[in-house]
Amino acid sequence: MVRIYDPKERVQGYTIDELITTGNNSVAYSARSATGEKVFFKLYQSPSVRVPWYKPFVQHQAELKKRIEAGPCRQFCYKFLGGFEHERKFHQVFEFLDRSHSLAQIFDKIRVRPSAVSWEQRELMAKVLVAGINQIHGARIVHADLKPDNVMLIEDSSIGMKYRLKIIDMDFSFFTDKKAPWDGHEGYFGTPGYMSPEHMTNVVPSPASDVFTLGIMLYQLLAQGHPYPYDEAEKYLPAYRAHAAAPPKLLGVPKAPARGDVIGDVLHRCLHPDPTQRPTAADLHKALTGDYVPPPEDPGAASRRAEEERTRAEEAERRKKEDVERSREVIRLADDMKKRAEPDPPKPKDGEKLAPRLVLTAADGTSQSIGARVVFGRVVLAKFGDAARYATNEQFVIDRTGDEWFVEPCPNTPNDTMLNGALLVSRSKLAAGDTVSIGKAASKKTVLELTVRAE
């Protein structure tokens, strides 16, 4: 178990300010250095000092820092400030990106109000993001866990884009010219909805895998949205293999000399199931800036395109059938859960306090006790049963403020988080007897009902 640091606690010259998040591998805090500089302070749960790849991982972090600082990619990446071991745990400190928003937050914003970020700003963001990944690849690094949450935009009204872009969360990035320290011990991270076909088939990701994910993010930024907007993880791979994404429809006219048809073609090829057929990040950047010269087309290309169109149509038809079957399965599962549930769930007592620890109990009696902020996702929820697969990697967060506990839905989850059977839309206070579950507000079907009580 990792000890959670308290605010004002001092660790190797750093003073902890507050806990930011608890992830699968680490606990993150904001902290102050000895000189008063605000930093992003990470305590690693994995790797522990006992695993054979711990020391290689520590050396790997030093080399990552060196490669980033040595090349032009440093202006696109957050700064690694240093790492150290404390109480037999690895810690690492990064620059703190104040006044920043993740690209995921920007996507949420433009979903509600598309004009919140202009086409010109979106084009600039795309160019900087792709240029950054191109430079990272130039330093022989594969990011390997790209997603909108790992692209930060720092407010800066002095430039046309209004934000400066930084790529973060690179501690599990690895090198194209060396095996990752965890290779053979652990898998490669990825996030549902943003994983490449290589991630999903246990093939070591490559720069082309980053390009695949870049393609998905650029569809969201510049075109009609996520090219594979599925609720269920098992739908992705067949669609990826069929290259089922519709060609992008750009939301604006690219700045000359860039051309919409060239960008559209290159962007669609980013999602090619065969990594060797994808453009490089450099090609993608050239397409965005108008410097890309398409290779001459071979005579068989037209018939292959027609064949691809046919496959896409067949895949769409098959997916429609799967959707119907999946809905039936969700209803069956929800009915099963109801049958297994206790007839009389514990009733909340008025004014009962939940702190210092809170327990979540499933219908079959499986429970989990928590004492600090926890992000509940598919992995954490797996102990409560199969229905955890309806959760995303980050479905909801439970955390404590003073003596009170709160639950908050995570953005961009295909299935809703429900509180007492109603859609949870914002951070809400928890009381003993409340139930937190996953479902669809529209159909009122829920699974994985967890009852809250004090320990």
Partner 1 sequence: MAPATWTCPQDGTENPAAERRCLVCRHPNLPRVVVLRAAATGKEAVLTESVKFGRAVFAHRFADPDAVFAAELQFEIVRDEARVAWVVRPLPGAVNPTCYNGTPIGPAGVELADGGVISVSRSKLRLQVRFKKN
CA atoms of 415 and 391, how far apart (whole Å): 7
Smallest distance, partner 1 to C-beta of residue 117, A: 14
Smallest distance, partner 1 to C-beta of residue 100, A: 14
CA atoms of 440 and 299, how far apart (whole Å): 49
CA atoms of 331 and 327, how far apart (whole Å): 6
Smallest distance, partner 1 to C-beta of residue 223, A: 19
Smallest distance, partner 1 to C-beta of residue 65, A: 20
Closest CA to 365 of 243, 449, 275: 449
Work out the number of other CB atoms within 10 angstroms of the CB of residue 321. 9
Smallest distance, partner 1 to C-beta of residue 163, A: 9
Which residue's CB is nearer to partner 1, number 129 or number 452? 129
**Residue at token pair 């095996």:** 179
Smallest distance, partner 1 to C-beta of residue 128, A: 5
Work out the number of other CB atoms within 10 angstroms of the CB of residue 189. 18
Asked if residues 414 and 435 have their Cβ atoms less than 8 Å apart, the reply is no
CA atoms of 15 and 6, how far apart (whole Å): 10
Smallest distance, partner 1 to C-beta of residue 164, A: 5
Which residue's CB is nearer to partner 1, number 280 or number 368? 280
Tokens of 256: 């000359």
Which residue's CB is nearer to partner 1, number 117 or number 430? 117
Environment class of 88 (CB within 10 Å of its CB; exposed 0-12, middle 13-18, buried 19+): exposed
CA atoms of 65 and 96, how far apart (whole Å): 16
Which residue's CB is nearer to partner 1, number 117 or number 333? 117
Smallest distance, partner 1 to C-beta of residue 49, A: 39
How many helices (H) and strands (E) the chain has is answered by 10, 21
Which residue's CB is nearer to partner 1, number 128 or number 436? 128
Which residue's CB is nearer to partner 1, number 132 or number 190? 132
Which residue's CB is nearer to partner 1, number 156 or number 307? 156
DSSP letters for 305-355: HHHHHHHHHHHHHHHHHHHHHHHHHHHHHHHHHHHHS-SSPPPPPTT----
CA atoms of 223 and 229, how far apart (whole Å): 13
Which residue's CB is nearer to partner 1, number 134 or number 415? 134
Smallest distance, partner 1 to C-beta of residue 155, A: 12
Per CB under 8 A, residues contacting partner 1 are: 75, 123-124, 127-128, 131, 156, 158-161, 164-165, 285, 289-291
Question: Could you give the residue ranges of the DSSP H alpha helices within 50-201?
Answer: 54-70, 103-112, 119-138, 197-200
Per the document, the length of the chain is 455
Which residue's CB is nearer to partner 1, number 89 or number 127? 127
